[in-house]
Structure 1
């Protein structure tokens, strides 16, 4: 009779250890999932509050205006949050190719607040004549500008 109680005790202890192990794994997984959902919420919030418009005139000259082979665009922050006036977090495509030589200068303020404009200079010294397309993406907000050289 004592051997039955001992075997039941061993099985009981083993089942408690397995249950504790499973509970720990589930708790860890739920914590990771919660963190991922929080990160998605922050990203979605930034996307919703970010809105920009390219306000350059496509009929006016935007290429090689200063004689330095740059595409010059004016971009207005029409969203509800301040944006960084540097190329961090901003993707620029010229005719479908990713461009990294981009500089930005705030025109009418000290920072790129809602309602203010930046002058974006995209170095493109060897741009052929014809129709071109520039895509600017900031926090998921994508704007396209078409022009002719």
Structure 2
């Protein structure tokens, strides 16, 4: 009878040790998942608060493309709730499927690109006559302008 109690006690202690190690592993995994979700929610919040609109007039292509200097100029209005960085590195341009880095970005009506203000984005590109597609990407927000030269 004593041997049954000893073996039962050993199995009970082993099962407690296994349960404790599993609980420790699960707690660590849940904590890492929670940290990752917290980091991702900050990124998503930044993307949600960012909204821009291209306000250049596609009906006036001469105001968008200057063929004498091979330059594209597009006006982009900050319509989101976040002040954006107005630097060439913070804005991506894609013209006819080709990635371009803006040469200059200037805030038109203020010193910072706050809600309601407009930035003038310039990039050097040689365009032929015809239809063109320009994509502006700021913090994941993507706007498209189609125009003809």
**TM-fit CA distance, 1:6:** 2.8
CA positional deviation for 1:23: 0.7
TM-score scaled to structure 1, two decimals? Answer: 0.85
Superposed CA offset, 1:76-103 (max 9, x none): 1111110111244533211123223443
Q: Which structure 1 segments of 5+ residues have no match? A: none
Structure 2: stretches of 5+ with no match in the other structure: none
> How many residues end up aligned between the 2 structures?
147
The aligned residue for residue 85 of structure 1 is: 86
**Separation of aligned partners in 2, 1:29 and 1:4:** 38
CA distance in structure 2 between the partners assigned to 1:82 and 1:34 by the alignment = 28
Please give the secondary structure, in 2, of the residue aligned with 1:110.
coil
Q: Mark the CA change 1:38 to 1:144 in structure 2 (over 3 Å): closer, same or farther.
A: same
Measure, in 1, the Cα distance between the counterparts of 2:5 and 2:92. 69
Alpha-carbon distance change, 88 to 16 in structure 1, aligned in 2, over 3 angstroms? farther
1:120, distance to aligned residue in structure 2 (A) = 0.5
Moved over 6 A (4+): none
Alignment of 1:1-149 (within 5 A): 1-60=1-60, 61=62, 62-64=64-66, 67-124=68-125, 126-149=126-149
Two-structure CA RMSD over aligned residues (Å): 2.0
Deviations 1:7-29 (A, max 9, x none): 22321221112111111121122
The question of whether the paired residues in 1 share the 8 Å contact of 2:91 and 2:102 is answered with no
CA distance in 1, matches of 2:110, 2:43: 26
Q: CA deviation at 1:49?
A: 1.6
